[in-house]
């Protein structure tokens, strides 16, 4: 009975949310929203940490930005709660990665009042890796790599999409947003140059990673990603594939396995044991912990830490 009661409560809340969505509002087309004249902060929700970081840096004091995925939570498996949906219904801008990363977004958007909401799919203008027949990859096509932000130049395109949304909703502060975006662009360009320098001075180009999250980084700078697991940390290789990875690592004399900070699979541990490789940490930056954020870390500091890790793994000279 308690389960039925809980389901009834959740259903009632969801119906209430939908009823709120259908309330009388001045007619407007999607995204045609202006910031309040009394300068209330623009309400922005994002889905992953990099987009949260970019939005905060570009919007500055003109917006309140929240990331819907709690700090330290694995983003691949996240599902919004009823309270999350109620919060999203109050948003003015909703920013997500796309490329199939957030499997819940399409369903969530269908329950929101989009006449009051600017929806930003930050991967729309980015050439994604994977199925070349569908670059938008909104339905999470198998083989599509959604980890776009790990290439600084593609991340810059995502940040520009955020800037454009802010200008759309608040044209009075266009210069402010554009100046903040230009400051961000300088940081992206500096980061890009640092990774180009890594490629120039790296003694090797192959990196053995716990899961295939670093394809964009490899693509941008000419590295080879050897992944133990697939695009999701929950994907695992077959016994035969695992043996092939072990043999390849031994053949190439790979001395380091790059594990993630949030997820470290048992399969990767097996490879580490079989190959005798040392474990290093490479951060996908999908989500930072509260401790990391309290320390003042952000997308750029973590990308620099990744750079230092890769200098070891790729034998920077």
pLDDT in tens, 150-180: 999 999 999 999 999 999 999 999 999 999 9
Q: Give yes or no for a contact between 30 and 42, defined as CB atoms under 8 angstroms apart.
A: no
pLDDT value of residue 53:
98
pLDDT value of residue 295:
94
Most confident of 158-172, 201-215, 222-236: 158-172
Task: Report which of residues 179 and 7 the model is more confident about.
Answer: 179
Q: Is the pLDDT of residue 243 over 60?
A: yes
Q: Is the pLDDT of residue 25 over 80?
A: no
**Closest to 53 measured CA to CA, from 35, 38, 71:** 71
Sheet strand arrangement including 224-229: 224-229, 206-211, 256-259, 278-281
Torsion of the alpha carbons at 157, 159, 164 and 166, rounded to the nearest 10 = 170
pLDDT value of residue 116:
83
d(CA 172, CA 59): 13
Q: Is the pLDDT of residue 236 over 90?
A: no
Collapsing DSSP states into helix, strand and coil, what is residue 143? coil
Mean pLDDT for the chain overall: 83
DSSP E strands in the chain: the ranges are 42-46, 63-67, 93-96, 118-121, 206-211, 224-229, 256-259, 278-281
Q: Is the pLDDT of residue 2 over 90?
A: no
Supply the angle between the helices 174-201 and 152-169 in degrees, to the nearest 10: 180
Q: State which H helix or E strand residue 20 sits in.
A: helix 2-21
CA atoms 292, 255, 232, 300: torsion sign: positive
pLDDT value of residue 210:
83
Q: Is the pLDDT of residue 21 over 90?
A: no
Q: Is the pLDDT of residue 23 over 60?
A: no
54-63, 133-142, 166-175, 297-306, range with the lowest pLDDT: 133-142
Domains parsed from the chain with CATH numbers: 33-191 (3.40.50.1980), 193-313 (3.40.50.1980)
DSSP E strands in 1-53: the ranges are 42-46
**Closest to 55 measured CA to CA, from 118, 104, 2, 106:** 118
Q: Is the pLDDT of residue 201 over 80?
A: yes
Provide the pLDDT confidence category of residue 30 given band limits of 50, 70 and 90: very low
Provide the pLDDT confidence category of residue 24 given band limits of 50, 70 and 90: very low
Q: Give yes or no for a contact between 274 and 252, defined as CB atoms under 8 angstroms apart.
A: no
pLDDT value of residue 232:
66
d(CA 137, CA 4): 37
């Amino acid at each position: 009975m308690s389960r039925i009661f809980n389901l009834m409560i959740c259903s009632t809340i969801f119906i209430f949310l939908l009823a709120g969505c259908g309330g009388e509002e001045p007619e407007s087309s999607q995204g045609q929203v202006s910031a309040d004249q009394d300068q209330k902060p623009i309400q922005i929700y994002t889905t992953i940490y990099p987009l949260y970081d970019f939005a905060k840096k570009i919007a500055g004091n003109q917006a309140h930005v929240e990331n819907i995925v709690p700090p330290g939570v694995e983003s691949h498996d996240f599902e919004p709660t009823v309270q999350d949906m109620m919060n999203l219904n109050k948003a003015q801008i909703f920013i997500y990665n796309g490329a199939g990363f957030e499997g819940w977004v399409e369903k969530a958007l269908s329950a929101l009042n989009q006449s009051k909401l600017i929806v930003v799919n930050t991967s729309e203008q980015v050439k994604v890796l994977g199925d070349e027949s569908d670059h938008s990859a909104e339905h999470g096509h198998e083989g599509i790599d959604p980890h776009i932000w790990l290439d600084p130049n593609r991340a810059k395109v995502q940040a520009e999409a955020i800037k454009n949304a802010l200008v759309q909703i608040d044209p009075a502060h266009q210069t402010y947003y554009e100046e903040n975006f230009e400051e961000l662009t300088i940081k992206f360009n500096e980061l890009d140059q640092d990774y180009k320098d890594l490629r120039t001075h790296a003694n090797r180009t192959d990196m053995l990673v716990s899961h295939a999250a670093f394809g964009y980084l490899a693509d941008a700078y000419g590295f080879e990603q050897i992944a133990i697991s697939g695009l999701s940390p929950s994907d695992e290789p077959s016994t035969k594939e695992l043996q092939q990875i072990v043999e390849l690592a031994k053949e190439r004399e790979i001395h380091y396995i790059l594990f993630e900070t949030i997820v470290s699979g048992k399969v990767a541990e097996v490879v580490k044991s079989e190959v005798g490789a040392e474990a290093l940490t490479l951060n996908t930056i999908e989500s930072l912990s509260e401790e990391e954020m309290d320390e003042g870390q952000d997308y750029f500091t973590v990308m620099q830490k990744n750079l230092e890790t890769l200098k070891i793994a790729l034998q920077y000279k």
